[in-house]
């Protein structure tokens, strides 16, 4: 995560560094991303970079968290009424992520994120856990969800259901990017997954 030195910079300078970083991560794979390119575009010294971030991976995690927070902020703007049903929230989430993906600023960045995880999934997901984990997100969701929709009114049970929904969501988004599904195809896939989660997989005679 960024140091206090970075966070104390004027917003304009922070934004310039972030924009330079997104441009670099959108142009080349994470493995080939160059600190030299970033500092040149951001007009800072190499020494300054290391005063702001531990390394390029630290910067990458920060960028991913920042984008995730932007998306969550946009979701809050689109929610008309609280509390909200989990499936409705997930569809709003889907539509915003899809819009971000189609934005030229983020499209190649998202593609490079996916390629990065596909290269060495176990190592890369572990190393970038801070940028993709659901920590904090689940607690935030509980505060805005309609608790009456859950079969069991128990916090740990609800957290597990939300975790499953977010895991399904992430898998649908990855599949969408890899297979280049359109928005409706992607949304239908998510709705199908959420339907299974909501109703369970067992039939009436299942014991």
CATH number of 61-199: 1.10.357
State the pLDDT at residue 204.
Answer: 64
- Which residues of the chain are under the pLDDT cut of 50? 123-127, 129-131
Cβ–Cβ < 8 Å for 150, 161: yes
Domain extent listing, the chain: 61-199
The pTM assigned to this predicted structure is 0.80
State the pLDDT at residue 81.
Answer: 84
Cβ–Cβ < 8 Å for 100, 64: no
Q: What is the pLDDT of residues 29-52, one digit of tens each?
A: 888 899 999 999 999 999 999 999
Alpha helices in the chain (DSSP H): 4-7, 11-27, 35-42, 46-52, 56-78, 86-102, 107-119, 121-127, 129-132, 137-142, 155-179, 183-199
């Amino acid at each position: 995560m960024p140091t206090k030195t970075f966070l104390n910079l004027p917003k304009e300078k922070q934004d310039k560094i972030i924009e330079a970083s997104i441009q670099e991560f959108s142009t080349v794979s994470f493995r080939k991303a160059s600190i030299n390119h970033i500092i040149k575009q951001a007009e800072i010294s190499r020494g300054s970079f290391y005063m702001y971030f531990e390394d390029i991976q630290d910067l990458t995690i920060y960028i991913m968290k920042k984008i995730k927070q932007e998306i969550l902020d946009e979701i809050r703007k689109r929610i008309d009424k609280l509390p909200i049903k989990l499936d409705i929230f997930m569809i709003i989430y889907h539509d915003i992520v899809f819009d971000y993906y189609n934005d030229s600023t983020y499209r190649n960045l998202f593609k490079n994120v996916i390629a990065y995880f596909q290269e060495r999934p176990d190592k890369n997901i572990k190393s970038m856990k801070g940028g993709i984990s659901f920590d904090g997100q689940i607690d935030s969701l509980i505060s805005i969800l309609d608790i009456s929709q859950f079969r069991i009114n128990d916090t740990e049970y609800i957290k597990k259901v939300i975790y499953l929904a977010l895991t399904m969501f992430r898998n649908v988004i990855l599949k969408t990017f890899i297979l280049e599904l359109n928005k409706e195809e992607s949304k239908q896939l998510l709705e199908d997954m959420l339907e299974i989660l909501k109703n369970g997989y067992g039939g009436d005679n299942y014991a």
